Structure formats: C-alpha cells, structure tokens
Structure 1
C-alpha cells in the first residue's frame, strides 16, 4: 500500500508509548510471492515440472490455480484448517519509510510435511531445495534428505537473520549446493563460526549472487566462476530477483549444461523479474529469452540452451 504523506508528520515522539494511528492509503497492490512459489513459477515458465512442498491456508485456492496453470505441481501443499496462508503486508510513505508486518500463518505447519510419501508418488528428486520456511520444517526436511539420500540445496536466505549458528550449520552441512547473496554468505560465516573455506568443505558448490555485479560460483574441485549480470537491465523492483536466478540456474542444471551456462540462464531470468513489479508478473517467449541470453553473454550460451528452451509452454 502507498500512503501519500509522511508517517513522521503523524508521530509524536513523546507519545510513542501511546501510539495509535491510521493512514488513508491511495494505492493497493496484491502480489503473489513466497520464495518456493517464486522459484517453482520460474521453473515452470522454463518448461520444467517442479513440485511445490509447503503449507498454506484454505485461501490458497486461487493461487494454486495460477501456479498450476504455469506448470507447478501443487498436489503436495498441505492445507491448514486453522491458519491463513503466510503473507507480508507493507505500507510505504512518500519518503520511502515503511510500516510492515509478516504473518507466518500456515507456514508453521510445514514441519508436518514428510518428503518420502511425496517421492514415492513423483519419483526421486533431482534436488530438494530447502528455502526459507518454518525453522523446524527446514530442519526436518534437511535431516530427511540426509537420511534418505535425497540430494538437497540449502537456501536459508531470510531465515538467516533469525537463526542461530547451530541451526545454520545443520541446514547447510552436506548440501549439494548452497545459495546465498554476498551479505548472507558473510552472515553464514559469522554465525556458524566457519571460515569461507570451512563452509565450502561442507557443501559441494557455493553459489553467491552479487546483485548488479552478477554471480560467483565456487567449489572444492573446479575453478571459481565469476559472471556479470545480464546487460542493460532496467531496474524497476527487486522483489523476487534472487528466486528467479535460482529458478533459471536449477532449470539449466536439469538440462545438464555447464555451471557457467546455468548461471547465465539464472541471470537472464532474474533480469526479467527486476524489470517487473511483482515476482511472478514477467513474460517472455523462447526467442526473446535466447536473444537476451546471446546479447548478454554469447552465441555459445544461446546455442547450448536453445534445444531445451524451445520446449517451454
């Protein structure tokens, strides 16, 4: 929501302990989001068939329909009878100051979801990406992946700020991939007490997004890869850009291309999101995507991806 004035004009510093204010907003936008849904949407747009796992409320029906129309399997989303779907509500004034609230709601029931019955129906997963969710749910799913031998990707993102070192160590140890942005990578080191080298010793590959500077990929066995972001990006709104990068990267992994090409696909998909308001409101054709991939990187990247992207919906 947008407030046409300044919050500061309605606040009396000496009376903040008695705060009771109401703001007449002049603009409301309702956007679909959530890290798992954003990633699954991106994977679906690129022609894959991702399985969304988590917990939502009975108000999920319209969102489910949207995701399913874009190739996302929502059969294994737990529907709570007690809570609404998690949501973030924010009001911004003309100075950019914000009042915001996050309601976790049904997210707290993610810990009740077991992966093995899902795998029995859909088949062995290429990867289980464990993103920001109910902390007990994240730990349960990580432990189950280790126990059952499912390759998993650690992507704790927003939960890092609220998690202690013990939980973070448990979530990333043994991951095939660790995703984070640069700030989060330093937070991981600080909270776990592990150096950058020690973190890398515990994961197969670390993928660190660098914002406008692109991405860095490090592993114990391969040379470090550093790539710039896509060219000529008209930045409009950054929400969901990291999720889009992950979706593009994972789609390319599923296609079996190189890590460099995977990062390039991720960067191009991220460019579409950052140029759009809302993390699931972008569109492109296969030809447009390939043209942008070639323009931002080279013809080799476009040629490597073309056989797979032309199968998109």
Structure 2
C-alpha cells in the first residue's frame, strides 16, 4: 500500500512586514486598493502543498509518492526531497515552464497577502495516476491537494473510476473554484480537509449544508487555528481537540500541510482518529515555530515526548510504539 500526494510543487518567497495590514486598509475604499508594504526580510524556501506534506510524512518515517508538475529547475529540490524519504519518480517535468512560485508577506498579526504563479503546475493535468499505481502498488489514499484545477478534477475522476480511496483538500483553490467544481472534487471523498474559513466557503459555494457535506464524505477534518481541530463523520463520534500550547509563532506558511501529514501518517500507522489529530497538531506546531515549510527537525523520541506533554502519557506511548 502507498500514499500518493498530489498537489502544487513550488518555491516559497516569504517576507515579513513589521506592522498590521489592517492599519493600512480603508474598508470603504477597497475597490480602489493600492498599497505597498516595506518588508524586513526575504526568505526563499522550498514549498508547494504536496512536497510539504511528503516532507512531513518523511520526518515521521513514511515514504510517500509525490504527484505533481515542476520545471527543469526542480533538480536541487528533487535531491532534497529524495534525501528526506520522498518518492519523486513520478513528478512531471515541464520543458518550457519554471516551477511554480508562492510569494507571501506576513504581518505581526499573522495575517497574509499572497500571490501564486502557476508555471509548470498547469501541466499537472497531463499526469495519469494508473501508471504510478502500477509502479508503487495500490494506494491507501490519494490526497488531491491544491493544484491546477483541471488536474484536480481529472485525478478525482480517475480515483472514482478506478476505486482509489481519495482525500479532498481543495484549500487555496477554493477562492478560484465555482460550486460545480467544488462539488465534483468533494463527492465521495474518504476524507475532506479544510480550515474553518474554507469550510464556510465550501458551504456557501456548493449550497450544501454541513449535513449535506457529511452525507457525501466519510470524515470531515476542519482545522480551527489556535483553537485546534474538529473531526466529524457519518459513522464516528464527533470530537474537537485543542491545539498545542506554548507555541511561539514565527511563520504560519505550511502549518496546514504539516497537520495533514501528521494526520495521514498516524492513520497509516493504524492509530485512531483522535491520535491522528493529535499527531497532526504537534507536527503543525513544529512548522509554526520555524521559518520555512520544510526546515523543522526532531527525533522520534522528542516527538513522542511532545505528544505526551500535550495530550497525555497514553497518547505519547501509543505514538512512540508506532514509530
């Protein structure tokens, strides 16, 4: 069994603004918006939702398969990922476009302005999943993350046609997707990942209620920022879990990707949904405390100790036993 992680592959350009964006915005003049922010620093880091998740799974000792499109400038990034236990053999390399770029500025309140250049990502629609499955074996899950919208649609259709269990993680593409596309990407998913704002956007754009969504997916996992995470499903007892305490936030980019990696990593180790949410929250905390989405580090013992500190000795013991 394998984990296929499909989504954007990108380079992150991360900047910090020593102030609050809200102080520069005039609500009744937003239709004339023209502002510039003087930033204090620039960090160029590896990113993209799919590599971020694959890296997190690798840190948890699991080898996942990266599914996405990149440019010929992907060589160094590929080497980095392969050194961190990521299977990059199925990455499509564009002959004409650069790897996608994510450019993001974060203020002191952790609010963000971001711009995304798709580049080679637009060729992700050329990737077929069946040859990848033939190479690596039947997937435990295919996670379909934010990517070229047509690629997301095609991957979702192929999963339905071939019977691959899939996870819907529309995230950043929600803003650009209409209700028809969102409904198509969600229907029949084993899991649906979103943050709290995205969950409301899904309901608004699809016209589905919370109950309608739960009638179409197995489990809905909604991250709640500093309040933690909510897990709901048709055949489970719903629960909410608090986030990790004592975290000093440095840079929020990639936190959601880390949560997803931790959640999936725990499920792959046959841990419960509650443990999966706890592992996801702890992995997310490591990213929030670090500049860069793939620049955190820990030993298995350190990770288990942190789980135990936050969620109890039993949780820490179960996590330690599976890693």
C-alpha contact 1:205 1:220 (8 A) present in aligned 2: yes
**Residues 52-99 of structure 1, C-alpha deviations (whole Å, 9 max, x = no match):** 000000000011011111000000000000100000234679999987
**Deviation, structure 1 residue 235:** 1.3
CA distance in 1, matches of 2:110, 2:319: 40
- Cα root mean square deviation, aligned: 2.6
Q: 229, 237, 240: which is aligned to 2:251?
A: 237
TM-score after normalising by structure 2: 0.87
- What is the SS of the residue equivalent to 2:138? coil
CA distance in 2, matches of 1:73, 1:196: 36
**Residues 265-284 of structure 1, C-alpha deviations (whole Å, 9 max, x = no match):** 00000010001111111111
Unaligned 5+ segments in structure 1 are 10-16
Q: Highest CA radius of gyration, 1 or 2?
A: 1
CA distance in 2, matches of 1:247, 1:30: 22
CA distance in 1, matches of 2:275, 2:162: 30
Please name the residue that 2:201 is paired with.
187
Please name the residue that 2:8 is paired with.
none
Q: How many residues align?
A: 300
- What is the SS of the residue equivalent to 2:46? coil
CA distance in 2, matches of 1:92, 1:258: 35
TM-score after normalising by structure 1: 0.89
CA distance in 1, matches of 2:195, 2:36: 36
- What is the SS of the residue equivalent to 1:66? helix
Q: 52, 56, 60: which is aligned to 2:70?
A: 56
CA distance in 2, matches of 1:215, 1:98: 21
CA distance in 1, matches of 2:106, 2:311: 37
CA distance in 2, matches of 1:95, 1:287: 33
C-alpha contact 2:110 2:252 (8 A) present in aligned 1: no
**Deviation, structure 1 residue 308:** 2.2
Structure number with the higher strand fraction is: 2
Change (3 A) 1:292 1:25: closer
Unaligned 5+ segments in structure 2 are 1-14, 25-31
1:167 equivalenced with 2:208 (yes/no)? no
CA distance in 1, matches of 2:118, 2:107: 24
Q: 143, 148, 155: which is aligned to 1:141?
A: 155
Please name the residue that 1:219 is paired with.
233
**Deviation, structure 1 residue 100:** 5.3
Q: 129, 137, 157: which is aligned to 1:123?
A: 137
1:89 equivalenced with 2:99 (yes/no)? no
**Deviation, structure 1 residue 158:** 0.4
